[in-house]
Amino acid sequence: MSLHGQYDDQNIFAQIIRGEAPCYTLYEDEHVLAFLDVFPQSYGHTLVIPKRSAARNILEIDADSLSKMMVVVQKLTAVLVAELAPVGVQVAQFNGAPAGQTVFHIHMHIVPRFEGEALAVHAGGKAEPQALAALQARLLQRMAG
């Protein structure tokens, strides 16, 4: 898919926002939703999306929605680093299929990086639901504490 086109309101993130598809929510307010990636590239891989913007990429999102997303990205990056103690953390956003975008609803990836561990291929393997639920509980507890 190119950088230009129509927003598909049946994409998986739009379905998640409407409550039509499940997710492992870490944060939600009226503007932003963050959840664990079910096809993680590393342990703790988190996605942050705008809820009120039908933007496919960074070229289409309004500055206010983008700012609200980035505040949550920063907050959750700090939570992931504090709880999982990675040696690094990758924050990424892709625009268009040639750049690696697979879901055409703008989103940010927070990917903890651990010593000696290569990134898994995105969408190469689905995480176990029990593992995601346990990690979700752990991170929510960290945020509540």
In tens, the pLDDT along 39-65 reads: 999 999 999 999 999 999 999 999 999
* Active-site option among 45, 105, 107, 109: 107
pLDDT of residue 1: 66
Domains in the chain: ranges and CATH: 12-144 (3.30.428.10)
Active site residue 4: no
Instruction: Write out residues in the chain with pLDDT < 50, as ranges.
Output: none
Distance of CA 107 to the CA centre of its chain: 6
pLDDT of residue 121: 81
Which of these, 99, 144, 118, 114, lies nearest to 44 by C-alpha position? 114
Residue 117 CB coordination number (10 Å): 13
Which pTM does this prediction carry?
Answer: 0.96
What DSSP character marks residue 91?
Answer: E
- Do residues 144 and 79 lie in contact, with contact meaning Cβ atoms separated by under 8 Å? no
